[in-house]
Structure 1
């Protein structure tokens, strides 16, 4: 991407089709769980905000995609993440090893509950 996208709608079409399809799938799962999310760009990444706080970020790199649900969600569900490279804040995946729908839903639900509880 030569120029930084100013919106999710600018960001996604610039990706290769497999990557775009996978990130659009993730986006759809999150917005089904939290239909009142607001889409924005933050730190150069598509971001879905819930109750005025970042719920998830997602982005594409040359060799993988990244999903940022929250460090709390990653910690709580770490036993389900053995097949992915993770850090405290991110889960990396590829089109050949995508995040299952149920895992995305669980990660999002954990973070939503933390936001609902006003965890900082």
Structure 2
């Protein structure tokens, strides 16, 4: 079976509401920051790729959502913008009741882009 050329679009389309709206929101924000990003699969997750490297993935989890910057350093650098949310070295976990702010998401994507571009 071949991989879909649009794994992220397919994942979002299959998501139930209200999760679909959350995924669509962050997908649009990521593409606004990285308009040349392409859909890909990274670590088995539908994601966006920027300049050939994994940029970001947002997944539905049992307790809400997780955003993965596909880097072990980005969360630490922008974590102050996501205070109160559960974080690990490679993910920020959030829920509908405790959402990830647009500022935190944008900073995460921008920091990962800088890292890929060698500016971080």
TM-score by length of 2: 0.86
User: Which residue of the partner structure matches residue 84 of structure 1?
Assistant: 85
CA RMSD of aligned residues (A): 1.8
Aligned length: 115
Q: Matches of 2:115 and 2:16 in 1, distance apart?
A: 34
Larger RCO (alpha carbons 8 Å, 6+ apart): 1
Name the counterpart of 2:42: 42
Pick which of 42-51 and 18-27 moved more. 42-51
Tell me which residue corresponds to 2:111. Answer: 110
Secondary structure at 1:107 match in 2: helix
Give the structure 2 partner of residue 71 of structure 1: 72
- Measure how far apart 1:101 and its partner are: 1.1
**TM-score, normalization: structure 1?**
0.86
Mark the runs of 5 or more structure 2 residues left unpaired by the alignment.
Answer: none
* 1:49 match: secondary structure: strand
Residue 25 of structure 1 and its aligned partner are, at CA, apart by 0.5
In 2, the alpha carbon distance for the partners of 1:42 and 1:114 equals 17
